[in-house]
Structure 1
């Protein structure tokens, strides 16, 4: 009888390992940490905490650790130097893996060699917004109107951003290049001052995050001319995509999960399965939607390809802008 009981127990453990591998991790009493390379309270931090909560049933204790500084470089470098045991993950962002490799003269990490992509987390649409009073005064209601006005009045329009080399600056330069127009760039010390500059009429238009701009769009203080994703956003389907006027122009904000290079492939696959399942859950989708973020789960291979394409895109954008950080 004892032998039969032992056989049943062994069979149950085997089935548990096959059916719910994440639960076996949880029983190992390990702590998984997700390093966010920006300060607490921002959208990257908030979404990381939502995801950490969603996977705790599979992974056990999951903590979010904030390591801000140097445009995300400090936190990302800490991930690169961590043990490749599957217990440390980091958030790779548009800045850290798309822009910074070309913007900074030296980086404390290699964006390709130092990481094992796990999955993309989400994409957040950016939006081209005009000061509503300026749009009305200049009779600009669409992106095509803005381009026509800029071509007829070279140098009379200006746009703001959170600083030289910021995502908003590079989006503006890519737009100018593809549309064949010129507008003066006004750099501010951060995204909030840039938005205030737009609201006060100091600048005519900005490329802003949809989540940040949406309240002022709905209040009528800003006019949304186009979202910069390939398709319209479900959050504001009435706003056209910039690609409807300028084919191929796509500039959105994204972030995803990476592990240190050398993390075993089977561990990466297990992490991918756990996190992509969470990203597809209705609860995570709803909570991300409140931030106007769209979950974008992917395979490790697909995320690696996406990172490569983003680096190539922002190499061109940084060269166009002339921005450099020494």
Structure 2
């Protein structure tokens, strides 16, 4: 998914805030250290640091589906020294009723969509199916006998799994987990049979044939897994992906917003970041502020429709 447009990102002409005191820029991350979101944040921060010529410090503030970190940035109106590495839950949380003290679009200045990732529909190798179509047929012959893991309440993994069940009209037991790691472990042990997961999480188990890929959540195949046909070939309009992007508070001076946008784009397109993202199974994007704003707006509507169709809510 490449939405980037040429912006003349040769030498960046710093002015205003960018030429001022060398106060460190702090990037808030609503996830624990070491996970996929944190990896993206640290790679991006390193590249942005080189462009800004000032420190960019990653601060992990996990909890509430990323809302703790997002709230800190939303309340820092006009401050160019506080950024947010947002991810898919930023658009999912309001759809499923997670309380927020901010507007996920109006209280931020979108800078750039850094990367997206398709989800792979994977199963335990003992399951006698090789594709999404075969899975649907098998599940209909065996109602209530299969289970699907969700990697966190309100995650893209959970909601896309619920949408799979709803669109295909399947009786499959949903099993919620507190993250991808315990979900995958139970899959390996045969306690659950199915999961929609990001590529990086399941790649080693696909390579060792401890798991099997049945389909991909986007409308394009993955070169690394050509056997996993788009689920949309069986269930029209099925199209989900996880994403990561960088936001600043609303109320920035125009020149500061433009500088941060250009820095975020150039960092996201850098070889350092692209190589790190691709190693994690992510697809680099690096688009403009306007494109990222339109993307978030579309994601808010997409996940609201999914929540309505599946009935997923946080009580």
| TM-score, normalised relative to structure 2 | 0.89
Say if 2:201 is the partner of 1:207. no
Of 239, 242, 249, the residue aligned with 2:238 is: 249
Please give the secondary structure, in 2, of the residue aligned with 1:125.
Answer: strand
For residue 55 of structure 1, what is the aligned residue in structure 2? Answer: 48
Of 27, 32, 35, the residue aligned with 1:39 is: 32
Say if 2:111 is the partner of 1:122. no
Please give the secondary structure, in 2, of the residue aligned with 1:129.
Answer: strand
For the 8 Å contact 2:215–2:231, the answer to whether it is kept is yes
**Could you say if the C-alpha distance between residues 148 and 312 of structure 1 is closer, same or farther in structure 2, counting changes exceeding 3 Å?**
same
Normalized per residue, the structure richer in helix is 1
Which consecutive aligned stretches of 4+ in structure 1 deviate over 6 angstroms post-superposition?
none
Q: Give the Cα separation in 2 of the matches to 1:19 and 1:208.
A: 39
Say if 2:166 is the partner of 1:168. no
Query: Could you give the per-residue CA deviations for residues 116-169 of structure 1, whole angstroms, max 9, x where no partner exists?
Result: 1111111122110010012xxx3x111111112223333332211134433222
Of 59, 67, 77, the residue aligned with 1:73 is: 67
Tell me the number of residue pairs that the alignment of Structure 1 and Structure 2 aligns.
Answer: 304
For the 8 Å contact 2:199–2:280, the answer to whether it is kept is no
Query: Could you give the per-residue CA deviations for residues 271-300 of structure 1, whole angstroms, max 9, x where no partner exists?
Result: 121121122222321121111111111111
For residue 6 of structure 1, what is the aligned residue in structure 2? Answer: none
Say if 2:286 is the partner of 1:274. no
Q: Give the Cα separation in 2 of the matches to 1:156 and 1:212.
A: 25
For the 8 Å contact 1:173–1:321, the answer to whether it is kept is yes
Measure how far apart 1:193 and its partner are: 1.7
Structure 1: 5+ residue stretches without partners: 1-17
Measure how far apart 1:234 and its partner are: 3.9
Of structures 1 and 2, the larger Rg is shown by 1
For residue 145 of structure 1, what is the aligned residue in structure 2? Answer: 134
For residue 213 of structure 2, what is the aligned residue in structure 1? Answer: 224
Structure 2: 5+ residue stretches without partners: 1-9
For the 8 Å contact 1:26–1:58, the answer to whether it is kept is no
- Give the CA RMSD over aligned residues: 2.0
For the 8 Å contact 1:158–1:203, the answer to whether it is kept is yes
Query: Could you give the per-residue CA deviations for residues 241-280 of structure 1, whole angstroms, max 9, x where no partner exists?
Result: 2223333211111010111111233322221211211222
Please give the secondary structure, in 1, of the residue aligned with 2:56.
Answer: strand
Measure how far apart 1:214 and its partner are: 0.6
